[in-house]
Amino acid sequence: MRTSEKLKLAPAPSPGLPEPFAGWFKARGWRPHSHQLELLEHASAGRDALLIAPTGGGKTLAGFLPSLVDLAQRPAKRKPERAIHTLYVSPLKALAVDIARNLAAPVEEMDLPIRLETRTGDTPQARRARQRIAPPDILLTTPEQIALMLSHKGAAELFGSLKFVILDELHALATSKRGDLLALDLARLRAHAPGLAAIGLSATVARPYELAAFLVPHRGRATTRLAEIVTAAEGARADISILKSDAELPWAGHSARYALPEIYEAIKSHRMSLVFVNTRSQAEMLFHELWRYNDDNLPIALHHGSLDVAQRRKVEAAMVQGKLRAVICTSTLDLGIDWGDVDLVINVGAPKGASRLAQRIGRANHRLDEPSKALLVPANRFEVIECQAALEAAAEGAQDTPPMRPGALDVLAQHVLGTACAAPFDPDQLYREVTSAAPYQGLLREGFDQVVQFVATGGYALANYERYAKLKRTPEGHWRVAHPRVAQQYRLNVGTIVEAPMVRVRLARRKGGALKPSSVLAPGRLLGEVEEYFIEQLTPGDSFVFAGEVLRFEALRETDAIVTRAHATEPKVPAYEGGKFPLSTYLAERVRNLLAARGAWPRLPDQVSDWLRLQAEYSVVPSPEEVLIETFPRGSRHYLVCYPFEGRIAHQSLGMLLTRRLERAGASPLGFVANEYALAIWGLNDMGEMVRSGRLDLAQLFDEDMLGDDLDAWLAESSLMKRSFRVCAIISGLIERRHPGQEKTGRQMTVSSDLIYDVLRQHEPNHILLKAAFADAATGLIDVGRLGNFLKRINGRIRHIALRQVSPLAVPVMLEIGRESVPGEASEVLLRETVEELIAEALSGHAQRQT
C-alpha cells in the first residue's frame, strides 16, 4: 500500500485482475505482483493462505485484494448489510489506523461501494456500540477488540457472513499470548462463519509452515493441515557493515560511547537514519550523548515506549514530513508502520537475533530492488563477534524467529469465560473448537475440563466455592454465566497485555519563588511513564536520564514521580532494563562457531582477534560443542567462570541454582554475576583445587537434575516467578486489572498476587494457574527451558581449566561485578546490613558522648 512500493511496478497487462481493479492498476502504469495474484486466487476460492513477503513487497495490498474484489462484485442491495465482510487484525492500534488511511485511497478512486472503519481501544464507546448494530464492510482492529465483540450476544449475527480475516504481521503475533487469543478468536469466528478464508501476512520467518498451520482449523492432534503458502520474491540483499572505529573497543558495557563520533558522522552523511538500541535506558543515554556532540544542531529525536504518547506522535509526524535527520528508538519502531524516507538503519549494541536484525533493516528503504543500508555498532568486544555472526546470518538470509509453543492456559481461561458471556456453550463442542486452533491442538480433554472448572469455581481441590460459581451448568449440560456481573467483569479484564504498574513522570513546577523549599514543588508537565519498580529503587536526590534529559527524582505523589531538571551532566543512571532481548539460540550457536573457528578470526577487527589469540595462548578457546569452565583466584576470592552463551536470563537462573549447589558442596559461594555470554561465581574456597582433589565433581554440579529440587526451592521465593504468576492471575481473570483512577486504593482493595502465590503454592502446588505461570517463566523471566537444553547439550562435554589468574575471555564478565544491582532475593542480608550499620552508628555516637 505504500506509495514507494507501488512505484516500482513495471507497466504491463494484468490478466488476473477483474475490473475496475485492472483498469485502476493500468491507469497508474502498475502491474500486480505475481504473489498478489496468487494470493487473490487462493483466497477467492475460499482457501486459507499465508503470504510471506519482505518489507516493500506490496504485502498489505495483496492481503486486501481478495476482499476488495469480492466486495466490488457484490450485487447492489437496497438495505445495508448487517454483518462484517472482512476483518483486518493488526498487533498495533497505530498500524490499523495507518492501513485504514492507505486503504481509503483506492476505495475512493475506484468508487467502490465499501464502508471501512477502525475499532481500537481508543474508539469511543458510542461508536463501538454502533459498530455492533450497523457494522462496516471492512473492520480494521486488534485481537482484543475481536474477543470483546465475540463476547456479545449478537456475535453470531455480526460475524455470520464473514468472508475474510486478514492477519497482518502474523510473525509478530503468533508466538505470544496475544497470538493464542487470536487463534482462539479465529476458531470462534469459524464457528459463526464456517466458510471464511484466513489470510496471513508475514515477514520472512524461520519456519513458515508453523504460521501456515496457525491459519487453518485442525481436528485435534490427528493431522496438521497447512494453509497455502505464497512467497514473494526476495528483495535486494541488504548492505550491512560493522562500524569501524579507531578507538579502543570496550571490554564490557552497552553504551557504545566510544563510537559516538562515527555514529554522528554516519547520521550527517545520510538523509534520515533510524538508530535502534535494545533498551530504553540505552536510548536515553545515546540520545543524551549524541546531543552533546551535535555541533551542527541536526534534528535528532528520541522515540520509545515509555515516552508520553503526545511526544511520540510528534516525533512520528516529524519523521513522515522528513523534518528529522535521526531518531533514536527501541523496538517500538520494529513493526510495519511506514515512517518516511529512511536511508540508513544503525543498530547499536548486538542485534540479539538474525530475524530481528532483518526486520530492523527492513525499516530502511522500502524499495524492493534497492538494497537497504545498515550499520552495526557493537558496544563491546563480545558484541563484535555477535555482530559478525548476525551479519553472516543476514548474508545467508537465515532466520531465527521463536518456535511455536503450546497455547497458554490462562488465555484459554479468559476465552472460555468470554464464550460463555455470549451464549451458553456445550463443552464437547467448545473442546473441538479450541483444539482446532493450532496452539491448542495438543490440549487434552482433561486439561480443557480443568480450565473450565477453574473458570467456574476456581478449580481448587477443596471444592467450597460452588455457591459463588461464575459458570453454572444448565440441565442439558451446557455452561452459562451465573450472573450478568460476570460478563461485566470479563469485559473490563479482556486482553493478554498486562502492563507492569506504571508511574507517571512529571516535571515539577515551582509554586512560590526560588526561595521556597522543595516540598512545595507542584506536579507539572507530563514527560512519560516508567515501571514502578524502577522508581522504587530511587531515593530522592538520585539523578537519571529520561525523555532525553537528566532529571532529579524529588518525590513520589500517588502515581506521579515528581522530578526536576538536574544540573549534573553525569546522571546516576541505574540499570533500567525495559525491553532487553535475550541472545537468540541460533545466533548463540553461530557465535560459538565463529569463536571456535580460528580461520574466521581475520574477519574480526584486529583488537578482537588479538584478544582471542591471547585467550588461546593463556587458556583455551572452547569448541562449539563444549562448555569452558575456568577457575582462578583473585584478591581474597576464588572465581569460577563458565561460558554457556545462552543469554543473561538463563545465566542468572543458572547462577542461582549453581550457588545453591556449590553451597552444599562446601565451596562457600558469595555471589555471582551474569552477562549475555558468561557467568562468574565467586566464593571463599578454591573451586579449582576442589575439582582437582575430587571434592567437587563438575559433571555432577552441571547435571540436569538441578532443574528438580533446587529449582523448586528457588522458585518458592523467586520474585520473578511471582511476577509471572501475577500476569497469569490477571489474564485468567482470578484477580482484576487495575484500572486508571483505582491505583491509589489498589494496594488495600485487591489481595496482592504475591500473597495468593504463597498460599496456593503451599496448598495446591499442581494448580493449573501455577502450571501456567511456570510455563511462562520457563521461557521468559527465568528461561529454564533454555537452561535445560544447555545442560543436555554439555552433558559429558565440560572442559575445566585451572588458571593462576583471570583469563582474557573472562575480563568482560568480571567487569560486570559491581555494576549490577542486587535483586530482591538477597533481601534478608540487606535487612541485617541496614540494622547493623545503624547499630555501629549508634555505638560510635555513644562513644563520642562518653569522651
* Smaller CB separation from another protein, 486 or 550: 486
Alpha carbon distance 435, 675 (integer Å): 40
The nearest distance, CB 477 to another protein, in angstroms, is 22
Of 834, 386, 394, 818, nearest to 645 by C-alpha is: 386
The angle at the Cα of 608, spanning 602 to 612, to the nearest 5 degrees, equals: 85
CB 143 within 8 A of CB 120: no
E strands within 590-653? Answer: 627-634, 637-642
H-helix or E-strand spanning residue 69: helix 59-72
* Smaller CB separation from another protein, 19 or 833: 833
The nearest distance, CB 774 to another protein, in angstroms, is 16
* Smaller CB separation from another protein, 239 or 736: 736
* Smaller CB separation from another protein, 614 or 826: 826
* Smaller CB separation from another protein, 317 or 843: 843
Alpha carbon distance 198, 67 (integer Å): 11
The nearest distance, CB 760 to another protein, in angstroms, is 4
The nearest distance, CB 775 to another protein, in angstroms, is 19
Phi, psi torsion values for 817, nearest 5 degrees: -60, 130
Q: At a CB cut-off of 8 Å and minimum separation 6, what does 46 contact?
A: 195, 197
> Cα separations (Å) of 151 from 87, 148, 159, 424, 488?
16, 5, 12, 11, 10
H-helix or E-strand spanning residue 531: strand 521-531
The nearest distance, CB 301 to another protein, in angstroms, is 30
The nearest distance, CB 845 to another protein, in angstroms, is 12
**Number of other residues whose CB lies within 10 A of the CB of residue 520:** 11
The nearest distance, CB 337 to another protein, in angstroms, is 36
CB 643 within 8 A of CB 595: no
* Smaller CB separation from another protein, 3 or 719: 719
The residue written with cell numbers 509526524 in the block is 317
SS3 329: strand
* Smaller CB separation from another protein, 128 or 737: 737
Verify cis geometry, omega within 30 degrees of 0, for the bond prior to 135. Answer: no
Alpha carbon distance 455, 790 (integer Å): 37
The nearest distance, CB 818 to another protein, in angstroms, is 6
* Smaller CB separation from another protein, 462 or 515: 462
Calculate the CA 617 to chain-centre distance.
40
Across the beta sheet with 344-348, the strand order is: 239-242, 373-377, 344-348, 273-276, 326-329, 300-303
Of 178, 170, 149, nearest to 51 by C-alpha is: 170
* Smaller CB separation from another protein, 76 or 462: 462
The nearest distance, CB 197 to another protein, in angstroms, is 39
Alpha carbon distance 767, 450 (integer Å): 9
* Smaller CB separation from another protein, 370 or 820: 820
The nearest distance, CB 472 to another protein, in angstroms, is 13
Of 671, 736, 662, nearest to 700 by C-alpha is: 662
* Smaller CB separation from another protein, 436 or 653: 653
Alpha carbon distance 375, 354 (integer Å): 14
> Cα separations (Å) of 675 from 281, 453, 587, 680, 681?
17, 43, 16, 9, 12
Which set of grid coordinates corresponds to residue 230?
A: 505464497
DSSP for residue 425: B
The nearest distance, CB 750 to another protein, in angstroms, is 8
H-helix or E-strand spanning residue 815: helix 811-815
* Smaller CB separation from another protein, 748 or 848: 748
The nearest distance, CB 743 to another protein, in angstroms, is 11
